[in-house]
Structure 1
Amino acid sequence: MHAFNLQPKTLTLAERLADMAVDALIDEAGLSPKPALVDRRGNGAHTDLHLGLMHASALSLWPAFKEMAEAAIAFGEVGLPLREAIGQIGRDGEQEMLATTHDVNTHRGAIWALGLLVTGAALEPQSSDASAVALRAARLSLLDDRYAPRPLSHGAQVAQRYGARGAREEAQLGFPAVIQRALPQLKRSRAAGHGEQSARLDALLAIMTQLADTCVLYRAGEQGLHTMQLGAQAVLDAGGSASLAGRRRLHELDQQLIALNASPGGAADLLAACLFIDRIESCDGVIQGAF
């Protein structure tokens, strides 16, 4: 058959959702200039990460996201069987990620957040409102996976030490940092004509203003957390990342966090979650048509 006669493959719902999740991770990684995070300028506060590695990691997770969506379609409802199925898929996906990155933790938190949201979106593609998807993800996260390993992650250890809300609790509450802060800020900045990259940076900053980011707490303690929260608010107060004053504040925050070795990785994971949900809302008809 002549190449020009080939018809494009129709993607399944699971494939479309996996594409959207990976696209969200790649867009988050490339967004610049992010304070103390890997972006197109460099490695931020990290010595073991770079943009190419983040892209490779994101691509390695496509099969896991697809399998989670397929599991949601197969089980058809929130329940322990689905929770344990996606838990195992997530753990297998993490191993594939670590094999790709040579044991560097690039996206462990994102697997948790985006995996739940992909599953929540696949369960009811006709109901793609942000709050509805987040609620289904929250209901899943509240179920106890009997097969999950019990050792505490760095984030969980820090959450216990400082009384902060870790990734698990953020999901169980329905992703308030995304639904109540990031998405509204993203839409406000777009409406103000700030441009897509600036709008996404503002969404990240909105998360950072209040999130008790366990990555920052682990690396820089409460001083790092206060620096992140106050600095992010200062950027928004100065007009956001689209304004000259806001960019100056953003540069100052970047330098302060790098000096403290404080990288807001938790906020970055939630920005990816925000970008995924934003895609779900804007592609409502496309998602339903794939089902």
Structure 2
Amino acid sequence: MVEVKLEAEIISENKKNRYQHWANKLGRYAQQAVLYEAVLEPKPGLVDSVDNGSHKDMDIFTFMDSASSLYSGFVDFAMDGFGHTGDARSLFTKIRKTGIQIEKNMFEETKGINTHKGIVFSMGIVISAVAFSLKNYQKTTVKEFPILSPTEVEIVFSTMQKMTEGLVSKDFHTLETKEILTNGEKLYMEFGFLGIRGEAEAGFPTVRNMLLKLRKDSFRKPTYSTKDIYLDILFILMSEVQDSTVVSRGGIEALEYVKQTARIFLENGGMQQHNAVEKIVNINECFRERWISPGGSADLLAITILFIKLENINVGG
């Protein structure tokens, strides 16, 4: 009996060490995705390494400070997933508590500026779902973080949908009795706008569809760089996403303007146009004049980049 117990303890310790190693890797991937999105330029209306877009209270250095505060929280999200013994919906309840602490750390680092609250919400769901799904990973002897197959990624998307089932109705059912509403709550009350909650409850379909396109090598061009691909992904997301950041700043009209602007850019060839960068610079000026910032699309770009890393999809020429 003693030998059996010792063997079980060794197995448990090995599994714990593997999960911690994988959590660290997941945290790095997520932080890298956030940083890639931050420095990508030129981005219309968004903070990047060239200008502040439509933001007066933050710049690229604010984003770097903020991103540096997120890593340990991303690891915590992963360990929440690895350590969870309940179902997917109860996992979502668990990570919301972790997210509150991560947001607190972010605000302390940025002195109260909201740089990454949206990405903390989305990354929390994604990272914990990946970890929760990896608990049943068939190749249990693998020590290094595994490259996920498209089938395994589909399991992650299914897990995210289960985690967030009923999210919108649960979060918004008492709004009429609340005295102070968040921007997301105000948009729901005024327009029935679901924003990132709706995207999450649907299992992040825009990101899933983006990955389907990337797997088909539809972006692979001889002259395409990784930067070009990420910018085209951003514009595809801008043309589709119900971006609450855009609506909160400029209303539904601003959202339609962003979608139409992105569609025209893509229809004319996207980053394959000879003057693509010049066009984005002009779009940025228009967005700045209207105080438009497609922050929701930027967050989903970071999520897409994380999945590109998890699947090891080759992007760029």
Same-fold call, TM cutoff 0.5: yes
Which ranges in structure 2 are unaligned for 5 or more consecutive residues?
1-16, 138-147
TM-score, length-scaled by structure 1: 0.86
Q: Deviations over 1:224-259 (max 9, x none)?
A: 212211111111111112422433432332121111
CA contact (8 A) 1:185 1:206 kept: no
Equivalents in 1 of 2:111, 2:241: separation in Å? 30
> Aligned-pair distance for 1:156?
3.2
1:240-279 superposed Cα distances (whole Å, 9 cap, x missing partner): 1242243343233212111100100111111111111111
What pairs with 1:165-176 in structure 2 (closer than 5 Å)? 165-176=194-205
Q: How much has 1:139 moved relative to structure 2? A: 1.4
Alignment gaps of 5+ in structure 1: 1-8, 284-291
Find the structure with the greater CA-based Rg: 2
Q: In structure 2, which of residues 52, 63, 80 is the aligned counterpart of residue 54 of structure 1? A: 63
Q: Which residue of 2 aligns with 1:199?
A: 229
Question: Relative to structure 2, which stretch is displaced further, 82-91 or 125-134?
Answer: 125-134
Tell me if 1:161 matches 2:184.
no
Does 1:180 find its partner at 2:209?
yes
Identity %: 27
Per mean C-alpha deviation after superposition, the further-off stretch among 147-156 and 165-174 is 147-156
Give the root-mean-square deviation of aligned CA atoms.
2.7
Cα 1:144/1:277, change in 2 over 3 Å: same
AA matched with 1:201: L
Equivalent AA in structure 2 for residue 262 of structure 1:
I
Show the counterpart of 1:26. Answer: 35
TM-score (norm 2): 0.79
Q: Which moved more, 1:209-218 or 1:126-135?
A: 126-135
- 1:143 offset after TM fit, Å? 6.0
SS at 2:292's partner residue?
A: coil
Determine the C-alpha separation between the residues in 1 that align with 2:223 and 2:130.
Answer: 29
What is the Cα deviation at residue 192 of structure 1? 5.7
Find out whether 1:273 has 2:303 as its counterpart. Answer: yes
Match of 1:114 in 2: 123
> How many residue pairs were aligned?
275
Q: Which amino acid aligns with 1:172?
A: E
Give 1:182 shift.
Answer: 6.5
Residue in 2 aligned with 1:258? 288
Cα displacement string for residues 102-161 of structure 1 (whole angstroms, at most 9, x for unaligned residues): 111111110111110001111123365333222212211226699999864313322332
Match of 2:258 in 1: 228
Provide the rounded CA distance (Å) in 1 between the counterparts of 2:97 and 2:108: 17
- Residue 142 to residue 193, structure 1, CA distance change in 2 (3 Å): farther
d(CA) in 1 for partners of 2:277 and 2:25? 35
Aligned partner of 1:91 among 86, 89, 100: 100
Segment drifting more, 66-75 vs 182-191: 182-191
Aligned counterparts of 2:79 and 2:286: Cα–Cα separation in 1: 43
